[in-house]
Amino acid sequence: MMPRTPDNKKSPFISFSYTDPSGAASKSEYAYQYIRDCILSNKYAPGTALYIRQLSELLKVSRTPVKEAISRLAYEGYVDLFPDRYAVVAKIDYSDVVELLELRECVESSSSYYAALRHTDSDLTIIKQLVAEQKSIPFSESGQIADCDMRFHLAVANASYNRQIIRTLQGIFEKFVRITLPIQKMESRSRNSLIQHSAVADAIIDGNADEAKRLMGEHIVDILTSVKVYQYQNIHLFK
């Protein structure tokens, strides 16, 4: 069976479902997931100080699982540790973002090409639903737009029926998600995204593989342009 992305109506990377430590594998995992989700969603923006005592009180767990969670996040590069029992959310590595987008251009151009050739009726239904969903979201709701955006790209990858493309894109998005929400707050980015998604979807539906590949490549390049603008306007959030 081909690997599929998570539920079409749920974000695959940001859950905010960790409201009760009893539902997590451990209190440390609960703390880790909560803090990581807050970082990925920019609730805890780069430069935000994270104090172990405050997080312990907020999450209603002891300090030990919070320390373990912070150490894990530091190892993964999400936070910088300091000796006085606190950490700071790490700045976004601009070079990493650019390299991820260059990789996305290669991977997603191919995913769109093969999606146009290999899609099923079910795949087209999902892609159409996601375009319609994005159209219904007000431009002010950047979180919903960012979530729908990721699900659209993953739906196209699913329709390619190439396991390596699907797995690669899932890995890319897990690293790219920190920048997804901020750039979707730019109304011009959200408007362009909707127009470009619609065009890519039409090419896939028509079975025009070359056009789907070209349009998706241009879409990713346009995202890179938005990232450059955002980085210039928010230089303090990047390293």
Per-residue pLDDT of the chain (239 residues; tens, 9 = 90+): 344 544 555 555 555 444 455 555 689 999 999 999 899 878 899 999 999 999 999 999 999 999 999 999 999 889 999 887 789 999 999 999 999 999 999 999 999 999 999 999 999 999 999 999 999 999 888 888 988 999 999 999 999 999 999 999 999 988 888 888 788 888 888 899 999 999 999 999 999 999 999 999 999 999 999 999 999 999 998 98
89 contacts 50 by C-beta, under 8 angstroms: yes
Does the residue 16 lie in any domain?
no
Q: Are residues 28 and 98 in the same domain?
A: no
Give the structural domain span for 82. Answer: 21-89
CATH number at residue 43: 1.10.10.10
Please give the Cα distance from 127 to 204 (Å, whole number). Answer: 9
Does the residue 7 lie in any domain?
no
Does the residue 153 lie in any domain?
yes
The helix or strand, by DSSP H or E, that contains position 87, with its residue range, turns out to be strand 86-89
Cβ-based neighbours of 193, under 8 Å, separated by 6 or more:
134, 145, 149, 184, 219, 223
Among the candidates 61, 89, 117, a domain finishes at 89
Q: Are residues 175 and 211 in the same domain?
A: yes
How many Cβ atoms sit within 10 Å of the Cβ of residue 224? 16
Q: Are residues 126 and 229 in the same domain?
A: yes
Among the candidates 43, 65, 89, a domain finishes at 89
Q: Are residues 229 and 111 in the same domain?
A: yes
* Single pTM value for the model: 0.82
Concatenating the DSSP letter of every residue in 34-52 gives: HHHHHHHTTSS-TT-EEEH
Please give the Cα distance from 215 to 2 (Å, whole number). Answer: 25
Q: Are residues 76 and 162 in the same domain?
A: no
Q: Are residues 157 and 51 in the same domain?
A: no
Number of domains in the chain: 2
Q: Are residues 66 and 101 in the same domain?
A: no
Does the residue 216 lie in any domain?
yes
Q: Are residues 231 and 205 in the same domain?
A: yes
Q: Are residues 174 and 64 in the same domain?
A: no
Token pair of 81, please? 């540790």
CATH number at residue 124: 1.20.120.530
Cβ-based neighbours of 37, under 8 Å, separated by 6 or more:
14, 15, 16, 18, 43
